[in-house]
Structure 1
Amino acid sequence: MTNAGTVSGLAGSGLLADAPHSAPVTHWFLRILLTIVVLAVLTGVYWLMWRGWKNRAARQSELPVPSTAAPPHAAFGEPAEGVYASTTVSGDWLDRIAAHGLGVRSNARMSVGAAGVLVAREAAPDLFIPADDLVHAHLAPGIAGKVTGGDGIVLLTWRLGDATLDSGFHPRAKGDRTRLIAEVGVLITERTAA
């Protein structure tokens, strides 16, 4: 006997008529009120997060605006595809810099040349770090906005005005990690040797 036959057989025998039905929806007012309260709480939480981000950016507004373009005719090596995670205060991997778009995570391409490091970002202004401002480059397990668990973040320590910052980049290809560190290391060595 098929399912359709079973249902029609049960209906004919009166068994379906005696089966319990779902209760009608009652307390419409209470349900609508609870939905409005939940939406209001979520809206309030998002508004507070937005205000916190804006206040952080305002507190950090004394930072100079970083360069977004490399000098004309500057040559760069092969770019590495990956994710620009964020920029933080050096030594504090959770103190994200919100000013000037430095805290915006985005897909990016990082390339190194004699003039410095260029991070071409998709969702934010590009970031150019002059070779003279580079302090250190090493691998790290994470930075605000991206944690890899292993040493997957290329961490650049650099100066912006009087501040020392860390910028994190997570290359898609593992081989790009050591290559980028080596290229930036050459720039720092050349600058300190001169």
Structure 2
Amino acid sequence: MIAHSPLRSLGGPVAGLVTAAGQTSANVTDWPARASWLVGILLLVALVCWLMREGWRWRATLQSGLPALRALPADPGTPRLTMTGLYHGSTAAGQWLERLVAHGLGARSRAELTLYDCGLHVRRPGSTDFFVPADDLRAARLDNAIAGKVLTRDGLLVVTWAHGDQLIDSGFRSDHAAEHPAWTAALTTPNQHTPKEGAIR
């Protein structure tokens, strides 16, 4: 004789509740596996971040011989040109992937550029400001890539300057791209040599 479950004999809504309860139980039992996947992903992300930070610190150690950045003189004179925009980073001149990170040069930031007769001042809110004396300014050009960042064609103003024994390319993007040509004209003279561009064309 076959025994029938009282719940089965009720059928309809009660049977549906039993089925839903079984599905809920199955879903609950999946949580440990899902939690394991989540923990694994978080650990992987943490490892990648740690490796990036260590790589940054290692690069900064290699560049520890770069002299400290100069500050704006007390009386720089009257500004010739001003520009606001973004600072995209600095590299060894002509090497658009050879990022410089010492003294905060590797951090992208907002930037306010002011050109004086005595040199170029770069103000970077929240980061390190620096000043390039006029005698250390070498050239300027329009380019499309620096420090691993690729933009639209001629979307960057790249200023080449000397600091200690190092020639440096620093990339800026004005809030108004139409300002770039005036800056290249002001920063480049016929007897200055522009290093070979390292950007992708």
Shorter-chain TM-score category? 0.7 to 0.9
Q: For structure 2, list consecutive stretches of 5 or more residues without a partner in the other structure.
A: 1-11, 194-201
SS of 1:164 mapped into structure 2: strand
Distance in 2, Cα, partners of 1:66 & 1:79: 20
Aligned AA (1:131): A
Distance in 2, Cα, partners of 1:82 & 1:25: 52
Match of residue 123 from structure 1: 126
After superposition, the CA RMSD in angstroms is 2.6
Match of 2:37 among 27, 34, 48: 34
| Maintained 8 Å contact 2:76/2:118 | no
Instruction: Note the C-alpha offset of 1:191.
Output: 9.1
Distance in 1, Cα, partners of 2:32 & 2:100: 45
Q: Which runs of 4+ in 1 moved over 6 A?
A: none
Match of 1:158 among 158, 161, 168: 161
SS of 1:30 mapped into structure 2: helix
Change (3 A) 1:191 1:146: closer
Match of residue 187 from structure 2: 184
Instruction: Note the C-alpha offset of 1:190.
Output: 9.2
Aligned AA (1:84): Y
Number of residue equivalences? 178
Match of 1:173 among 163, 172, 176: 176
Q: For structure 1, list consecutive stretches of 5 or more residues without a partner in the other structure.
A: 1-12
Instruction: Note the C-alpha offset of 1:102.
Output: 0.8
Tell me the TM-score normalized by structure 2: 0.78
Instruction: Note the C-alpha offset of 1:164.
Output: 0.7
Match of residue 144 from structure 2: 141
SS of 1:81 mapped into structure 2: strand
Please show how residues 1-194 of structure 1 align to structure 2 within 5 Å.
Answer: 17=16, 24-144=27-147, 146-185=149-188, 188=189
Tell me the TM-score normalized by structure 1: 0.81
Choose 1 or 2 for highest CA Rg: 2
